[in-house]
């Protein structure tokens, strides 16, 4: 469509130029319109790729085993991204009567899936959901909350004792076969040493006491701990790759048209960085088997982070950078064989400062080309070119 429109405008311009020449040149008055020779150098604008990366996309890649479905992404009211882990649970069947003391451990080895060597997490939060299948309220008192490491050592999870050593009411189920969910803490507890837990923790250890009157139905308590990791961290050197289909049909038309003689090309790369992360971009052109044909790599393709409000961590305005790459005919024809364009983004925080990633943070990348050609022929050739694009 782009070439069709360009050639249509070109044809009109040529017709006007030619008619003006005819009025001034008596030697052309006996020639037919289609036989009049022209020599003109048009340029063709060709969009090659368009990519938008969100803060949520980056947070999802912090977890290296997304196929395991151990986590999902949520956003708070401000759009701050969270990684949520809630796939472990334990069922407890209670005796009909008497206070009941017990301890439960939940594995937290899913933390090992985080790319912790590239991202330093600043915070982690924990809560405990309890689904009560019994038809009676149950008094539930947390006595201890610790995490264990691989050597069996146990350390306190939190200094925030809100809800600890206090009796919580686990609400009764509405009827047999149903359950009522109670979150143990009103708010999530802040984990005391998130990096130590993430690096070394193997289990969350809950000790608690249950009190209740005579239980009249069979059932269980289903305990489901939830760990939330907000996208609040320092990024050492986080890299990701995005692959898009190469939109090169317009280029192929130019090279395959006998009437057009290719003269040169320039690639235009525009990046709008609305992330709180500095970005170093590399671009690769690949064939159908993902073999690299050519690449655009330059130390100058370093894009500063967007302007961030230091108190809210939120974006004030994005940073925009543009690059022009002049290409020879040989190199441009090599790129024309590409099936895919691969963008590699190396991301890091400026001077080690901590940042937060919101849903509204985006990195936009637009790659386009401007190809120049020579048309040598007559008006009938131009008409034929235009006809082939209809």
Q: What is the pLDDT of residues 314-351, one digit of tens each?
A: 999 999 999 998 888 788 878 888 899 999 999 998 87
| Higher-scoring residue by pLDDT: 299, 328 | 328
Per-residue model confidence as pLDDT tens digits over 166-220: 668 889 999 999 999 998 877 788 888 888 887 788 888 888 888 888 888 888 9
Angle at 51 between CA 49 and CA 57, to 5 degrees: 155
258: pLDDT strictly greater than 70: no
């Amino acid at each position: 469509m782009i070439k069709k429109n360009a050639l249509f405008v070109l044809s009109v311009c040529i017709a006007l130029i030619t008619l003006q020449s005819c009025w001034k040149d008596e030697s052309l008055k006996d020639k037919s319109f289609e036989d009049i020779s022209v020599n003109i150098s048009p340029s063709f604008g060709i969009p090659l790729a368009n990519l938008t990366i969100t803060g949520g996309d980056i947070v999802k890649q912090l977890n290296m085993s997304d196929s395991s479905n151990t986590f999902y992404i949520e956003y708070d009211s401000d759009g701050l991204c969270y990684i949520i882990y809630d796939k472990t649970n334990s069922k407890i069947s209670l005796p009909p009567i008497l206070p009941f003391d017990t301890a439960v451990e939940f594995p937290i080895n899913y933390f090992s899936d985080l790319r912790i060597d590239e991202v330093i997490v600043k915070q982690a939060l924990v809560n405990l959901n309890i689904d009560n299948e019994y038809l009676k309220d149950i008094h539930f008192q947390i006595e201890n909350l610790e995490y264990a490491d691989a050597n069996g050592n146990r350390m306190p999870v939190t200094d925030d004792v809100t809800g600890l050593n206090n009796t919580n009411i686990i609400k009764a189920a509405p009827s047999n076969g149903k359950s009522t969910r109670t979150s143990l803490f009103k708010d999530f507890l802040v984990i005391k040493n998130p990096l130590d837990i993430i690096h070394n923790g193997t289990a969350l250890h809950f000790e608690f006491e249950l009190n209740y009157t005579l239980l009249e139905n069979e059932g269980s308590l289903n305990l489901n701990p939830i760990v939330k990791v907000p996208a609040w961290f320092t990024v050492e050197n986080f890299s990701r790759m995005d692959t898009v289909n190469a939109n090169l049909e317009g280029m192929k038309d130019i090279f395959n048209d006998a009437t057009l003689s290719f003269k040169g090309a320039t690639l235009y790369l525009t990046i709008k960085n609305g992330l709180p992360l500095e970005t170093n971009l590399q671009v690769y052109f690949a064939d159908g088997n993902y073999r690299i044909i050519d690449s655009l790599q330059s130390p100058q393709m370093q894009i500063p982070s967007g302007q961030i409000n230091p108190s809210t961590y939120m974006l004030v305005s994005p940073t925009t950078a543009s690059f022009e790459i002049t290409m020879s005919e040989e190199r441009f024809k090599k790129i024309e064989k590409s099936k895919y364009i691969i963008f590699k983004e190396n991301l890091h925080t400026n001077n080690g400062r901590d940042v937060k990633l919101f849903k509204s943070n985006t990195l936009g990348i637009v790659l386009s080309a401007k190809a120049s050609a020579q048309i040598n022929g007559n008006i009938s050739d131009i008409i034929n070119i235009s006809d082939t694009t209809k």
